[in-house]
């Protein structure tokens, strides 16, 4: 069985495309739309109160009979235990959990004992091998092209995926920079079982992103993203804007984490992404923004990506 078949079976989906966890954006409606299209939707816990996380899971349950999952970025929550409890409460409605931003090891058996396969986000081959040894069912290898928090090694997707797929046996999803069918075909050629999308799904009809944020992604070329938080040892890819220039300017003064925090806290992401006020807040985007030229329904994104990938694979030049 190919790793793509394993992936499709584990997640109960028709096409090898997964919605990445997305702070403020990955709500129940978007997750359901992705799952309805035959891919795998995920409700994100980042940027949500516990009550809202539960509400979004319920919305997804009511909106689709297809399988979907949840994303738990461990480090984003001061105490992830209450989120873990909530996920376990809904275990019969969920198909899988993805874990990011922290050590997944203590959490993997907890979810697996509840019958939930676990996907772990990694950014190096070593990290991937460790996660596999800890029992991860699927790995999400995320390159530095991706929107949002990235791994500190800053490996590109093109270099990372074959290194990870060589190091592990479990299915690997390629994340970072995939925004069309060519990206999906390339990921499969590099040994991935499928892809995880972030930025492409922000600019869709069903996405709760503010229209100003969706339009900013449409306008952005590949060079219109920047990394913030480098001065404190983290790397976070966002859309360039005057606000982001101010943050970068301040970072040149080598502020402490506490000094920088007011500029980079989640609330500033909410202001940019949900309120669309990009003068007073920031919004995540991957470099794939340069490929995004429309705001279609999710179903079109998934269908066209699969059609295009199949055509690309059929028409690859022989030599
Ligand atoms: C708006 C946005 C929010 C994100 N929030 C999270 C998150 O909460 N947890 C997580 O694991 N990854 C998060 N990511 C990363 C995505 O899950 C995904 O891996 C990444 O976007 C893939 O790269 P792409 O943006 O080039 O498609 C986020 C990405 C975006 C664009």
Summarize the confidence of residues 62-90 as an average pLDDT: 95
User: 3-208+295-315: which CATH architecture?
Assistant: Alpha-Beta Barrel (3.20)
* Confidence at residue 51, expressed as pLDDT on a 0 to 100 scale: 97
Q: Is 148 in the pocket of ligand 1 (CB under 6 A)?
A: yes
Ligand 1: residue of 83, 198, 222 to mutate (most ligand atoms within 8 A of CB) is 198
* Confidence at residue 318, expressed as pLDDT on a 0 to 100 scale: 87
CA of 235 to the centre of ligand 1 (A): 13
Domain residue ranges of the chain, discontinuous segments joined by +: 3-208+295-315, 211-287
Cβ atoms within 10 A of the Cβ of 71, count? 27
- Percent of the chain clearing pLDDT 70 (strictly above): 100
Q: Is 272 in the pocket of ligand 1 (CB under 6 A)?
A: no
Residues linked to residue 148 through DSSP beta bridges, in sequence order = 237
CA of 311 to the centre of ligand 1 (A): 27
Ligand 1: residue of 148, 174, 204 to mutate (most ligand atoms within 8 A of CB) is 148
pLDDT band for position 77 (50/70/90)?
A: confident
Q: 27-31, 59-63, 100-104: which has the minimum mean pLDDT? A: 100-104
Give me the chain's average pLDDT, please.
97
* Confidence at residue 12, expressed as pLDDT on a 0 to 100 scale: 98
Summarize the confidence of residues 101-110 as an average pLDDT: 95
Q: Give 175-209 pLDDT, tens digit per residue.
A: 999 999 999 999 999 999 999 999 999 999 999 99
Ligand 1: residue of 19, 20, 53 to mutate (most ligand atoms within 8 A of CB) is 20
CA of 148 to the centre of ligand 1 (A): 5
* Confidence at residue 75, expressed as pLDDT on a 0 to 100 scale: 86
**Euclidean distance between the first and the last CA atom of the chain, given in angstroms as a whole number:** 28
Q: What's the 3-state SS for 23-78?
A: CCCCCHHHHHHHHHCCCEEEEECCCCCHHHHHHHHHHHHHHCCCCEEEEEEHHHCC
CA of 318 to the centre of ligand 1 (A): 35
CA of 33 to the centre of ligand 1 (A): 17
235-239 and 148-150 beta bridge pairing: antiparallel
Q: Give 213-254 pLDDT, tens digit per residue.
A: 999 999 999 999 999 999 999 999 999 999 999 999 999 999
Q: Is 151 in the pocket of ligand 1 (CB under 6 A)?
A: no
pLDDT band for position 76 (50/70/90)?
A: confident
Q: Looking at ligand 1, which atom is closest to the CA of residue 121?
A: 11
- Percent of the chain clearing pLDDT 90 (strictly above): 97
Q: Is 251 in the pocket of ligand 1 (CB under 6 A)?
A: no
CA of 246 to the centre of ligand 1 (A): 23
285 has a pLDDT exceeding 90 = yes
79 has a pLDDT exceeding 90 = no
* Confidence at residue 10, expressed as pLDDT on a 0 to 100 scale: 98
Q: Give 305-315 pLDDT, tens digit per residue.
A: 999 999 999 99
148 has a pLDDT exceeding 90 = yes
* Confidence at residue 91, expressed as pLDDT on a 0 to 100 scale: 98
* Confidence at residue 278, expressed as pLDDT on a 0 to 100 scale: 97
Q: Looking at ligand 1, which atom is closest to the CA of residue 100?
A: 11
* Confidence at residue 108, expressed as pLDDT on a 0 to 100 scale: 97
Would you say the C-alpha torsion 175, 150, 55, 294 has a positive or negative sign?
negative
138-142 and 118-122 beta bridge pairing: parallel
* Confidence at residue 41, expressed as pLDDT on a 0 to 100 scale: 98
């Amino acid at each position: 069985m190919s790793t793509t078949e394993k992936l499709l079976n584990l997640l109960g989906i028709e096409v090898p495309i997964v919605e990445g966890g997305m702070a403020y954006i990955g709500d129940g409606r978007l997750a359901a739309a992705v799952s309805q299209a035959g891919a795998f939707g995920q409700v994100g816990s980042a940027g949500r109160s516990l009550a809202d996380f539960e509400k979004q899971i319920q919305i997804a349950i009511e909106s689709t009979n297809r399988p979907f999952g949840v994303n738990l970025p461990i480090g984003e929550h001061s105490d992830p235990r209450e989120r873990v409890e909530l996920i376990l409460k809904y275990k019969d409605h969920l198909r899988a959990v993805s874990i990011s931003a922290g050590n997944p090891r203590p959490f993997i058996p907890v979810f697996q004992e509840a019958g939930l396969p676990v996907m772990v986000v990694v950014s190096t081959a070593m990290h991937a091998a460790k996660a596999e040894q800890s029992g991860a069912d699927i790995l999400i290898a995320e390159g530095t092209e991706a929107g949002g928090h990235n791994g500190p090694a800053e490996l590109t997707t093109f270099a990372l995926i074959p290194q990870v797929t060589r190091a592990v046996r479990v299915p690997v999803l390629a994340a970072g920079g995939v925004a069309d069918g060519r990206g999906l075909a390339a990921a499969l050629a590099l040994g991935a079982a499928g892809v995880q999308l972030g930025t492409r799904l922000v600019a869709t009809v069903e996405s709760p992103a503010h229209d100003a944020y969706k339009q900013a992604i449409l306008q952005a070329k590949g060079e219109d993203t920047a990394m913030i938080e480098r001065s404190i040892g983290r790397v976070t890819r966002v859309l360039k804007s005057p606000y982001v220039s101010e943050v970068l300017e301040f970072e040149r003064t080598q502020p402490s984490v506490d000094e920088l925090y007011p500029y980079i806290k989640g609330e500033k992401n909410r202001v940019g992404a949900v309120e669309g006020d990009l003068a007073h807040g920031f919004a995540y985007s991957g470099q794939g923004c340069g490929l995004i030229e429309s705001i279609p329904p999710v179903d079109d994104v998934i269908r066209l990506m699969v059609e295009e990938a199949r055509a690309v694979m059929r028409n690859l030049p022989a030599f």
